[in-house]
Homo-oligomer: A and B are copies of this chain.
Amino acid sequence: MALRQDWSEHPCPIARAVDIVGDPWVVLILREAFTGTRRFEKFRDRLGIADNVLSKRLQLMVDAGLLERSSYRGEQRTHHEYLLTESGQELLPLLHTLALWGERHTTPPQRSAHMTILHSTCGAATTQSERCSNCGEPMTAQTTQWRRTWIDRAAVDLEPA
């Protein structure tokens, strides 16, 4: 990432991956994209991120192939949407790994704030990031719901590709 040391040409795939996703905003933008956010203004409002910071991160994510920008003509001006690519979709296990580790090893500000990852096919809450710990099927955006008690009691479907 251009903001700091460049690991994009490193032989280690972990280093090349963190060169792209080793940034809190990038991960939080991915989280929003998986829950249906597509437009600049909505990312900004949901994340409370400064315009210039968001703009730079979205461009980096497009350049890195995680998001695809599509434009359409609105009534007054052209709008852009940012959609997860296949490569971006394959970062769902990263978000799940972070969520599960965060639930186990960090403390929420309110005791009642918890995130549960649900496998919609079998209905179970999974304790694994890639495959449902109940039935063993892969967890994809198509088959995953998130329940985040501090937002809503109901679980939400993730955005299919």
Contacts and interface: CB of A to CB of B under 8 A. Distances in A.
Contact of A90 (B14, B21, B27, B104): B104
A17 B109 CA distance: 14
A18 interface: yes
A98 B7 contact: no
Interface string A10-48: 111111111111111001100100000000000000000
A18 B11 contact: no
Given A99-B13, A115-B12, A105 B129 contact: no
A148 B11 CA distance: 9
* The 4 residue pairs across chains A and B that have the minimum distance between CB atoms: A13-B102, A17-B102, A22-B24, A11-B113
Given A5-B24, A12-B148, A14-B27, 14 more contacts: A7-B24, A11-B150, A13-B98, A13-B101, A13-B106, A13-B108, A14-B31, A17-B106, A19-B106, A94-B98, A94-B101, A97-B97, A97-B130, A130-B130
Interface of A: 4-5, 7-24, 27-28, 31, 65, 87, 90-91, 93-95, 97-106, 108-110, 113-115, 128-131, 136, 148, 150
